[in-house]
A and B are shown apart, each in its own frame.
Chain A
Amino acid sequence: MLDVKKIRNDFPMIKELEKKKAIYFDSAATSFKPQCVIDRVNEYYTKETANIHRGDYDLSFSVSDEYEKARETVRKFINAESSAEIVFTNGASSSLNLVAYGYGQKFLKEGDIILSTEAEHASNILPWFKVAEVTGATIEYIPLNKDGSFDIENLKKVMSDKVKVITLAHVSNVLGYIMPIKEIAKIAHEYNAVVVCDGAQSIPHIKTDVRDLDIDFLCFSSHKVLGPSGVGVMYGKYELLDKMDPFMLGGGSNARFDICGNILLKNPPFKFEAGTPCVEGVLGFKAALEYLMDIGMENVEANDRMLHKYFMDEITKLDNVEVYNKQSETSIVTFNVKNIFAQDVACYLNSKGIYVRSGNHCAKILLNVIGVSETIRASLYLYNTKEEIDYLVEVLKGVTLQKCIEAAL
């Protein structure tokens, strides 16, 4: 069991919202940061500012050392084999684009198939549209069930030797379903396809072991896992990183180059990290992952699942609410109040101090599957409580169109 009271105390934003009696249910968009992360970033600015991998002086040396230790912390967090498989980027979108560009555009060719689903975030599908355009490969979608959930049998039906890449979110940002990534990877590997896993929504909530799951690439953002914005990770198996291209060239990524244009790139992960990275962000990210590991990801996961189940049980009791992802297991509840437009409800909730997100959540093609374009998403994290859920459910019970309009006046 988590000591939620203690945890809430670690988050200045929670205390800030408590003053306003407001509740945050949008952690799927971004998470709050614990004090230790904020302190870590601040410390870099106040006591440790220096560039990395360059100076001959103590300060630069020790910051470089911390930066590399952060890589090791990420390795440990996802149980990668080597920290050389951890590439720091600007975020999940950056990482996903890097895989599509550096691997997809380099190795795919006409006739190849990229498999994905209709529930993907724009950041995990648009880069592959580009790969298809440039290489002549085609994108096909693994059919989803009526409620948007995934069935491994549907993958088996569309799998073939032509499939070179399967790219999907481990946890969908709209419906919160957990994909059976391990089984998917097993099938993919039987056909020599690589699996690109968008971990933006899974890394914060479920303990992820890239070796056990046998994922080829895993992409995620720091800001959704209690860390600073502007930092993300592209994990890749070393032999894949070794043969793929970087997205950017420049300082820090080359070992040497000459006037004739010959470039000798460094080995992974450094060949992908041209230019000065978000150093303070990476150091803060390390603090965030350490914070979670101190609590224990098993405990975070169990708590998120418990809260989610409680949320589902309570909200599905309401007659005036339609829930779209009843089969989901963690963190995200997607719903509408019957006969009221999602945005009107979200604005009403805002007037009651409840922060949720309405919209199509950057997964625009999911509309084809669940049949509604606009939904309200409430997403949870370790600092949320049952009392907050009770309050949301209470407010939803009484929502009417009149009240929604009034909230806008």
Chain B
Amino acid sequence: MPEITFVESLRMTLKEEMERDPSLMLIGEDIGRYGGIFGVTKGLLEEFGPHRVRSTPISESAIIGSALGAAMTGIRTVAELMYIDFTPVAMDQIVNQTAKMSYMSGGKAKVPMVIRTQEGGGRGNAAQHSQCLEALFLHIPGLKIVMPSNPYDARGLLKTAIRDDNPVMFIEHKLLYATKGSIPDGEYLIPFGQADIKRKGKDVTIVAISYMVTVALKAAARLAEEGIEAEVIDLRTLVPLDFDAILQSVRNTNRVVIVHEGCRTGGIGAEIAAQIQEEAFDYLDAPVARVGALNVPIPYSEPLENAVIPDEDDIVRAAKKVLYRG
């Protein structure tokens, strides 16, 4: 199959899953005729009709809450929140209702539901349209968290997410939408909790997610020019977390850099670093390094935004630091 974009991969997957499961419903803002502001749902209303592709008023709480109610009563649902920055508008429905429903009911309630959303900066969209909030959801037991880094993974992971009987936060990145990748013919699913080693290396482990995988790979190529072999791990899912993959790599390299675009403070790197020191303290030759955004909202102006969001240079610098070089 020729190369397709991230957006096309998502669209194709939604379409196939809707054909496969006649109850599957999509719900979200402007997802009908308009096809979503990133074009992910283009054509789906025409194909599946207004009961299965529900374009809503601007009502994030009701989108999530009604997706939950539908999911609990037999309608597998993919709810879309246009920006992850709007999840706080629906926070009660996500945190207090959706995430806890199975547990609170003693396992009686089944919640086959995906919340598709997108995050990230780099486009001058300023403080309320550029955040990376995955760590908020990592802190809430009861939500699976998926963060695909390329079109191939997006497809395999979205299939798994849709078929899962639990709530899944499926977090895309706006800078990935136009990126291309090749996808094999035929169906494939990528199981949750399986990290992907994107590059082998013996000197330092770089753990990354989402768009930062691309940036980490560029940094690794630069490090290679200086004779440093970095191993780059794409976590793909945060919940469940493939900690074994991290552990194995750390045992070989003895040095780790964790990279994410969200704030360093309280970011996913903090959790992973804590687990590493609990499980592999004796293997470490240097303190675990974290690369993440500065602890401020994302500013509009380009030089400020660039200063806040981590880049290749930051990763290279962190890798050298844990290697005590430069």
Verify that A and B bind, or say they do not.
Answer: no
* Chain A residues at the B interface, C-beta cutoff of 8 Å: none
* Chain B residues at the A interface, C-beta cutoff of 8 Å: none
